[in-house]
Structure 1
Amino acid sequence: MTKFFLLLLSFAALISCSSLQSYNKHPKTEFRGVWIATVVNIDWPKNGLDEIEKQKKDYLEILDFYQNLNFNAVIVQIRTAGDSFYRSEYAPWSRFLTGKEGKAPKENFDVLGWMINEAHSRGMEFHAWLNPYRATFDLKTEVLSPTHDFNLHPEWMVKYGKKYYYNPGLPEVQEKMVSIMKEVVADYDIDAIHFDDYFYPYKIKDKVFQDSSCYEFYKRPKQSIADWRRSNIDSLVKKTYRTIKKEKPWVQFGISPFGVWKNKSTDPKGSDTKAGQTTYEDLYADPLLWMKKGWVDYLIPQVYWSMDLPVASHSKIVDWWAQNKSNSNLYIGNGAYKIRNNSDHAWQKKKELPNQLKLARNTQQMSGNAFFSAKSLMKNNSDVVKYIKRKYYKKAALTPISSLTKNTFNEVKVQVSKHSEEKIEFTVNSPQKLRYAIIYDSGKKTKLTYPTTKLLNKTFIDDSSIFSISKSEFKGKKHIAITFINYYGRESKPTVLKIKND
């Protein structure tokens, strides 16, 4: 009996420890992202005809809202449909930014550079979101710039439904897309290139994507059109990843595929869902292969359904992705836009979205979440926002490191170099580029690591070896621990410094 009782206690302890390990109230690293959609001015700018100062104000309102919620990344759409939100050799200025396609912002204002700096200054990563294959948003081609690819390369275009698309099967199209990604990475201080779920377009009943002649010309022997299409997408993903890493190896590459890879009804390896379309069979995208091959740093499957929706349960799909994760980081995309705005009554509940965050945090293979889209929580549903802040995002979190990065962090030397009435100045010496300085509350002794509950400040560092922090941030502390985040997202060993707060 005694032996049995001891075994029972051991088992209970094991279960208890497992439970504690599976849920961390204040994780040190967790991706907390939000998509800022610019196509047809969904989130920003509110109108392409707005003055630039109004657009700046609206963008900062988004950043400040999500900074207050302790988010650490924004995913901003900078290419919507063959256009750009930055000066590009390969695409005209977007009409969603300036009101007229091809028209530059006043005084040649560098919109993208400014947006990136404002995100970084708030401790947030900037993921540049580009839609590769959508060429137009509608059939109103008369509004397109003479330099739009629809006019320069009509042979690249495929009309499907009420839009035009680039033909992914053409080598020239792939080459163009890779050049676009290279340009953004080379010219801007972004943290990631991001693709969404639009590869081959979602299927429309009784419509055929007219690429059969291209297929016949480029296919391999005995290759089906479905496999050929997937190979085209695979090729772009692989080339984009390699181009990014060659240009700036610290810049990540992430993709947000449609949430259902395959239904179990068509493949035993698929999820227990009844999705009308799937990413593998209908969009011709194979994110499982991209993870396996190490072509992406992260995936954010768009699991925009409620927890227990019969045809596509959020909880079942999250579990499926967890079981099929390999190599890359894995986050979950949440449909915040559905809160109290959907026929599925589950979204009427205050805790629907928070319960999805809880599920992701309790799932070992998941490392965070991203919300679509930015405006969803800003004007309505304040009760949901308050609950999320109090229950899940009360403390800040650092962004996860790409599991594919090989970078190591050498020692960083830092010292207090100057005191004033208002701020403390630090001098830093590092053999590699630094992105942020992290200040923790500490005692006299240095620890190996500090939890985010001790975090006092996260400061963006430019190329200078000197930076300063307001004394108000130290809250009367006598000792602080300071670490640094490099461009790869790694945190250095802490250094404890004594400071004066008189």
Structure 2
Amino acid sequence: MKQLLLTILFITFVLPLTAQSAGEMVTRPPKYEVRAAWVTAVYGLDWPRTRATSPEGIRKQKAELVEILDRLKDANFNTVLFQTRTRGDVLYRSKIEPFNSILTGKTAADPGYDPLAFAIEECHKRGMECHAWMVAIPLGNRKHVANLGNASVTKQKSAICVPYKREYFLNPGNPATKEYLMSLVREVVEKYDVDGVHFDYLRYPENAPRFPDTYDFRKYGKGRDLAQWRRDNITEIVRHLYKGVKALKPWVKVSTCPVGKYRDTSRYPSRGWNAFHTVYQDAQGWLGEGIQDQIYPMLYFRGNHFYPFALDWQEQSNGRQIIPGLGIYFLDPSEGNWTLDEVERQMHFIRTHKLAGQAHYRVKYLMDNTQGLYDVLEEDFYTAPALQPAMPWIDNVPPTAPTHLTVTRLPDGYIHLSWMPATDNDKRNVPTYVIYGSDTYPVDTSNPENIIAQRVQGTEYTYAPVRFWTAKKYFAVTAVDRCGNESEAGR
């Protein structure tokens, strides 16, 4: 019976995708799709390489990030998961936790600028969203905590911190932990124009039967078994953070990256490694309760360890956005023995089954064009821009259409567009605009190949064609609110 099941899975999931990876590419990419990359700051894995210890160092450190963002933009990415909190330290000016030493080489040293503010500004310039990626529960090893000194949360809030296996963790069983995490999130959401808050390691350590929470379990367990109590603790933190963000700015997306296999499925077993049992994440329960906008399951697997579990996430999504995290680091020979067609098949599968998009871990392997992945994305998969999928569970009313579009062709070959502004039902937000251009009239705004620019602020835009003879003849403009609702076109 098991052999029959494996055969069915192979035919269903792998054979059609193998044919696609051999050249049967989709002619037009979807108009709405999340295309994300994790930019990892811990240990400087992706960024930065240069220390900000002088004006020149600051300039170089910024330039390194700009280079990453430019290349993501060139390949039509639209989402940057920018590491904002690592392990008890941060990459923004916080009144709660110290700066990460990776910025300057010294713990708690101010780099002379605000990296998160800079990242948001540069992402928005390029029409990309910037999500603050925050590691939640781990606080680092003993050496790291010692280096933070009195600035460490282990000193400032010792009651909510516990040592376990030579590392320190926030204690999910202490009700004050969720309040502490929310204080950090509140800082980020209130002070910065982030598009999302993305939680990593919002879970217990793997296989931790001796995690030191016996006192808390006796105090707060209320008749539940230990495993259920721990799952409830994580869910309560997720619930508290989600509701807290929505009370501040409803349009800010809240997401997590749970372990990629939720639990055993009817199609394939998780072989004892899953979110539900191993790290106490009831992530599909979060989706069912509606306390996540997006889930980025870390599906860093191949073959039948990927496809059945990706499908399971989609089937249990409750209408929320599922964006599988792809383990592109396994393309590096020193990390694994994957070949490029593994990632290509996974991306075809994601699109075939209409998941919301994909995320790439990590951006270094895109920048290095490992096994030609960047080229394949740019030339085959991300051949046109994509807009963000909407969040109708937050707001499903699009802005009014912009009006009185005026097109002025300038002597230098540039084309100046201007229009009258749109309005949104949420008066706290001014809509941004998407510019479309085509050689046919009316401009087909359903075709992403006609997108010239997105997230345009203001009511003017100057279009610079690559060559004057490539200039589009006709134009259209739509308005988009912060929840991704797009208006009718103004022409």
TM-score by length of 2: 0.86
Q: How many residues align?
A: 456
Contact 1:45 1:58 in 2 (8 A): yes
Unaligned runs of 5+ in 2: 1-19, 425-429
Q: Distance in 1 between matches of 2:164 and 2:281?
A: 18
Partner residue of 1:9? none
Q: 2:215 aligns with which of 202, 213, 224?
A: 213
Report the 3-state secondary structure (helix = DSSP H, G, I; strand = E; otherwise coil) of the residue aligned with 2:309. helix
Partner residue of 2:482? 487
Once structures 1 and 2 are overlaid, which stretch shifts more, 25-34 or 50-59? Answer: 50-59
Partner residue of 2:7? none
Query: Residues 227-283 of structure 1: CA distance to partner in whole angstroms, max 9, x if unpaired?
Result: 11111111111111111111111111111111111235xxxx6x6134443211121
Q: What's the C-alpha RMSD, in Å, of the aligned pairs?
A: 2.5
Partner residue of 2:278? 282
Report the 3-state secondary structure (helix = DSSP H, G, I; strand = E; otherwise coil) of the residue aligned with 2:139. coil
Are the structure 2 counterparts of residues 275 and 118 from structure 1 closer, same or farther at C-alpha, using a change threshold of 3 Å? farther
Q: Distance in 2 between matches of 1:155 and 1:209?
A: 15
Contact 1:258 1:301 in 2 (8 A): yes
Contact 2:196 2:252 in 1 (8 A): yes
Q: Distance in 1 between matches of 2:127 and 2:285?
A: 33
Contact 1:354 1:388 in 2 (8 A): no
Q: Distance in 2 between matches of 1:401 and 1:442?
A: 28
Partner residue of 2:65? 59
Report the 3-state secondary structure (helix = DSSP H, G, I; strand = E; otherwise coil) of the residue aligned with 2:140. coil
Matched, 1:390 2:379: yes
Matched, 1:98 2:104: yes
Match of 2:323, as an amino acid?
A: Y
Are the structure 2 counterparts of residues 455 and 118 from structure 1 closer, same or farther at C-alpha, using a change threshold of 3 Å? same
Matched, 1:413 2:417: no
Q: 2:449 aligns with which of 448, 453, 460?
A: 453
Report the 3-state secondary structure (helix = DSSP H, G, I; strand = E; otherwise coil) of the residue aligned with 1:439. strand
Contact 1:444 1:479 in 2 (8 A): yes
Match of 2:259, as an amino acid?
A: F
Match of 2:346, as an amino acid?
A: Q
Are the structure 2 counterparts of residues 307 and 418 from structure 1 closer, same or farther at C-alpha, using a change threshold of 3 Å? same
Report the 3-state secondary structure (helix = DSSP H, G, I; strand = E; otherwise coil) of the residue aligned with 2:389. coil
Partner residue of 2:461? 468
Q: Offset of 1:24 from its aligned partner?
A: 6.9
Q: Distance in 1 between matches of 2:27 and 2:350?
A: 11
Query: Residues 380-417 of structure 1: CA distance to partner in whole angstroms, max 9, x if unpaired?
Result: 42523222322211111111112422241231334338
Contact 2:262 2:309 in 1 (8 A): no
Partner residue of 1:73? 79
Query: Residues 27-54 of structure 1: CA distance to partner in whole angstroms, max 9, x if unpaired?
Result: 1111110011111211111255562212
Q: Distance in 2 between matches of 1:137 and 1:418?
A: 60
Partner residue of 2:437? 440
Q: Offset of 1:467 from its aligned partner?
A: 2.6
Match of 1:247, as an amino acid?
A: L
Q: 1:88 aligns with which of 84, 94, 105?
A: 94
Alignment of 1:304-323 (within 5 A): 304-308=300-304, 313-323=305-315
Contact 1:98 1:105 in 2 (8 A): yes
Are the structure 2 counterparts of residues 435 and 197 from structure 1 closer, same or farther at C-alpha, using a change threshold of 3 Å? farther
Q: Distance in 2 between matches of 1:61 and 1:100?
A: 25
Q: Offset of 1:197 from its aligned partner?
A: 3.9
Contact 2:351 2:357 in 1 (8 A): yes
Once structures 1 and 2 are overlaid, which stretch shifts more, 295-304 or 487-496? Answer: 487-496
Are the structure 2 counterparts of residues 344 and 317 from structure 1 closer, same or farther at C-alpha, using a change threshold of 3 Å? farther
Partner residue of 2:10? none
Contact 1:101 1:145 in 2 (8 A): no
Partner residue of 1:162? 166
Partner residue of 1:332? 324
Report the 3-state secondary structure (helix = DSSP H, G, I; strand = E; otherwise coil) of the residue aligned with 2:77. coil
TM-score by length of 1: 0.85
Partner residue of 1:179? 183
Are the structure 2 counterparts of residues 128 and 343 from structure 1 closer, same or farther at C-alpha, using a change threshold of 3 Å? closer
Alignment of 1:412-431 (within 5 A): 412-414=401-403, 415-416=405-406, 420-421=410-411, 422-431=414-423
Partner residue of 1:143? 147
Contact 1:139 1:162 in 2 (8 A): no
Contact 1:337 1:373 in 2 (8 A): yes
Matched, 1:378 2:364: no
Q: Distance in 1 between matches of 2:193 and 2:213?
A: 37
Contact 1:83 1:91 in 2 (8 A): yes
Match of 1:434, as an amino acid?
A: P
Unaligned runs of 5+ in 1: 1-19, 497-502
Report the 3-state secondary structure (helix = DSSP H, G, I; strand = E; otherwise coil) of the residue aligned with 2:343. helix
Alignment of 1:90-129 (within 5 A): 90-106=96-112, 109-129=113-133
Once structures 1 and 2 are overlaid, which stretch shifts more, 82-91 or 195-204? Answer: 195-204
Contact 1:174 1:236 in 2 (8 A): yes
Q: Distance in 2 between matches of 1:417 and 1:322?
A: 43
Are the structure 2 counterparts of residues 430 and 495 from structure 1 closer, same or farther at C-alpha, using a change threshold of 3 Å? closer
Once structures 1 and 2 are overlaid, which stretch shifts more, 336-345 or 89-98? Answer: 336-345
Match of 2:347, as an amino acid?
A: L
Q: Offset of 1:457 from its aligned partner?
A: 2.7
Q: Offset of 1:198 from its aligned partner?
A: 4.1
Match of 1:354, as an amino acid?
A: E
